[in-house]
Structure 1
Amino acid sequence: MRRRLILSTLAVVLVVVGVFGISLVIVESRTIENSTQENVRSEAVRLISTVESRVVAGERVTAESIGVTASSNRYVRVEMPGRRPIEVGKKPADDVVQARETGARGERVTVQEPRSTVRAEVGRTLLIILAVAVLAVISAAVLAVRQAHRVAAPLTDLAETAERLGSGDPRPRHRRYGVPELDRVADVLDASADRIGRMLTAERRLAADASHQLRTPLTALSMRLEEIIATADTDDPEDQATVKEEATIALAQVERLTDVVQRLLTNSRDPRSGSAVSFDLDEVVKQQIEEWKPAYRSAGRAIVRSGKTGLRAVGTPGAVAQVLATLIENSLMHGDGTVALRTRVIGNQVVVEVTDEGPGVDEALGSRVFERTVSGHNSTGLGLAVARDLAEADGGRLELLQQLPPVFALFLSREAADIDPPPAA
């Protein structure tokens, strides 16, 4: 492209220089020839006038008296009746520019100048025009190279930016080049880089969230399967009933695991695309307690619930269960003593509080405990962040009400039909 720009610019300059140069040579040649002809004629007129005036006055007519000097370029002949002609200069042998004037008493003056003088003057003019043309072409070549570099360098830079985007480096460069069309392309590439960066961030976030959130139901599922394996080889009807019950619970956990995956995928595409419905909050709380009892029993701890029952909330049961599972798992891993789930009502909201008897949340963390990668126990720092995202996707919120002992609260909208009417006036 750079070569094409240079060649096209030089071609335009050469055409312009050629057209105007040829025209100028023609005009200057005619001007020089006409000027020479006019000079010769003016010289002849001057000499005949001088000769006439000296003849009338009876003075001697000589070359010096009439102001004629020898010249290598011009020949002068003065003829007077009854007198010897006066010749000054060498008579040219080739084509000449000539002027002849005749006086009232028969005097004749002839002035000749060889056309070689005219051609020499035209040649000098042609050399000057050619030098100017060469200078113009050189200047145009320099400007063409600079302009080609000015246009081609940004295009090369934009190509490198596009290549970087294709190789997975979505950082915008924010470079502008002072050319509106190129700046427009740069704007589009920077906007594309921002979009690609957000998409890559969302994909990485989805992978991290999925790996973290799937760990909790998989842990519970593995415990259920261990219970099933432990009681599989028995003929006791009660043990067989236990196996069936554990298998049913494991199947429910698999279904919830599928729901978690679907929920994560949905949130990665559009965090606002929630599928909130009215559901029985007691059922979700009871399900979580039943699922986590074996793990707490193995750790020598207990999990209990208290508070108001018969509450209905608005949200996604699977997401609410996942949030509670995250809080319960955190209490199991980082807390101590009995874990309590308490349900209560505040205005048009229902609240599920999860607390334990452990050391609580580090004072240095505070509310930052919900930020990604922030953790006080060398964990991934994703669990609470993802739990808050799930809660907010359903129009609820997850908060840390108290650091010691730790109290986490999940706020959900209360079903309209379940809200107590205002007292009668």
Structure 2
Amino acid sequence: MRRRLINSTLAVVLVVIAVFGVSLVIVETRTISSSAQESVNSEALRLVSVIDSRMLAGESVGPQSLAGVGPDRYARIRIPGRAPIELGARPGGSLIRGTATGARGESVLVEESRSTVTREVGRTLLIIGAVALLAIVSAVLLAVRQANKLASPLTDLAETAERLGSGDPRPRHKRYGVHELDRVADVLDSSAERIGRMLTAERRLAADASHQLRTPLTALSMRLEEIALTDDLDTVKEEATIALTQVERLTDVVERLLTNSRDPRTGSAVVFDLDEVVKQQLEEWRPAYRSAGRAIVRSGKQGLRAVGTPGAVAQVLAALIENSLMHGGGTVAVRTRVTGNQTVVEVTDQGPGVPADLGARIFERSISGRNSTGIGLAVARDLAEADGGRLEMLQQQPAVFALFLSRVARGPREPEQTIR
């Protein structure tokens, strides 16, 4: 592209120089020739005038009494009854002649070599050639500058497009001062931002899926191990029923992840029995706590109803219980209570709590007190907010996390119960 721009610009300049240069040479040549002819004629008229004035005054007319005609000119004066008078040396070659006749019959012939005109035309051509060469050099420099100004941005834009294709969606926010090129840069930057958001959403979906599916799969494998190790038919049926429940939860988790990947704000909140969700989580996590030599208990009000997505609430509670298992210590207590028009589920343990340097940052992605993924609490908060609830840390040491959900009061015949 650079070469084409330079060649096209140079071709235009050469055409302009050829057209105007040839015209200028022709005009200047004619002007110089006409000027030389007029100069010779003027010289002849001057000599005739001098001769007339001297003859009228009765003075002698001779080579000494007449001014010279210049080194490149020759003059011959004829006066009736006298010998011709010659001034200067007669030039050879092609000549320019000028004649004049006086009132007393005298005549003057002035000759000048045409080489003087040729030399003048040559000097003029040299000046025109120098100007043309300067114009060509200037045009080449300007063409190179314009080619770089246009080609470099195109190279940058091509590199940006290649980076987008190779999976690097960072926008460059670089502009070039050319409206059309800046427009292309705007479109590429917008595309880079969209691709970046899409890649982030895909990576987030993969991370969330791996994190949220890990716990149900672990629990399911434990149930299957229980079935494989027992010979009691009733135990097999009980464990199989629980395993089917966990399979249903896995399906719900997958559907929830796909829904959130399309639109994180999309929720399917309904009125549900909170006791069933809490009970299911306690049954699911007790084997893991027994294996760790720890216990998980429940306290607080029973018979509470809340607004939310049961699967999402189960995932939030699973994240909190797993967090206590991995980072906490002692007995884990799941407590349900009511505050105003909200139902609260608190999860606490007897461990050291959240480090002081983390604080509220515990809900940020990739923030973890140990070598874990650091996305469990972040995902849990997103799930809670998707259904209009919220997840908060009420206390750092020992750690107390609370899930707030909208409360639905039971009918007059459905009293709430408190359990210990």
Distance 1:187 1:415 in 2: 50
Q: Which residue of 2 aligns with 1:80?
A: 79
Contact 1:338 1:356 in 2 (8 A): yes
* CA distance 1:79–1:417, change in 2 (3 Å): farther
1:273 aligns with 2:266: yes
1:8-407 to 2 correspondence within 5 Å? 8-69=8-69, 71=71, 73-92=72-91, 94-231=93-230, 233=231, 239-407=232-400
Report deviation, 1:132. 1.4
Matched, 1:7 2:7: yes
Taking the aligned partners of 1:301 and 1:149, their CA distance within structure 2 comes to 72
| RMSD after superposition | 2.1
Question: Distance in 2 between the 1:44 and 1:371 partners?
Answer: 107
**1:98-132, CA deviations, whole angstroms, 9 ceiling, x for partnerless residues?**
22111111111111223333233212211221121
**SS of structure 1 residue aligned to 2:302:** coil
Structure 2 spans left out of the alignment, 5+ residues: 413-420
Query: Which consecutive unaligned segments of at least 5 residues does structure 1 have?
Result: 234-238, 420-425
CA contact (8 A) 1:70 1:89 kept: yes
Q: Which residue of 2 aligns with 1:422?
A: none
- Cα distance change of structure 1 residues 211 and 418 upon mapping to structure 2, 3 Å threshold: farther
Q: CA deviation at 1:322?
A: 0.6
Q: Which residue of 1 aligns with 2:415?
A: none
What secondary structure, in the 3-state scheme, does the structure 2 residue paired with 1:414 have? strand
Tell me how far apart the structure 1 counterparts of residues 353 and 122 of structure 2 sit (CA, whole Å).
Answer: 103
The count of residues paired between Structure 1 and Structure 2 equals 412
CA distance in 2, matches of 1:287, 1:305: 12
8 Å Cα contact 2:68/2:88 also seen in 1: no
Is the 8 Å Cα contact of residues 305 and 409 (structure 2) preserved in structure 1? no
- Kindly state the Cα deviation for residue 160 of structure 1 after the two structures are TM-superposed: 1.7
Percent of aligned pairs with the same residue?
76
Shift of 1:94: 4.7
Mapped to 1, the partners of 2:251 and 2:388 lie a distance apart of 22
Task: Determine the C-alpha separation between the residues in 1 that align with 2:269 and 2:94.
Answer: 110
TM-score by length of 1: 0.90
- C-alpha separation between the residues in 2 aligned to 1:31 and 1:148? 41
Match of 1:350, SS? strand
Quick one: which amino acid aligns to residue 396 of structure 1?
G
- Residues 244-274 of structure 1 show CA distances to partners (whole Å, capped at 9, x for unaligned) of 2221221121121122122223223321122
Equivalent residues of 2:384, 2:391 under 8 A apart: yes
CA drift of 1:415 comes to 3.8
Q: Is the Cα–Cα contact under 8 Å of residues 320 and 391 in structure 1 kept in the other structure? A: yes
Q: Deviations over 1:178-215 (max 9, x none)?
A: 33332333333333333322322222222222111111
Q: Which amino acid aligns with 1:85?
A: P
Secondary structure of the corresponding residue to residue 308 of structure 1: strand
CA 1:43–1:64 in 2, change beyond 3 Å: closer, same or farther? same
Residue 337 of structure 2 aligns to a residue in which SS? strand
Extract structure 1 runs of 4+ deviating beyond 6 A.
416-419
* Per-residue Cα deviation, 1:306-325 (whole angstroms, up to 9, x for no partner): 32233222221111101111
Q: Look up the equivalent residue of 2:178 and give its one-letter code.
A: V
Amino acid at match of 2:362: V
SS of 2:62's equivalent? coil
Q: Helix, strand or coil for the counterpart of 2:298?
A: strand
Contact kept? 1:63, 1:69, Cα under 8 Å: no
Residue aligning to 1:423: none
Residues 329 and 69 (structure 1 numbering): CA distance in 2 closer, same or farther, change over 3 Å? closer
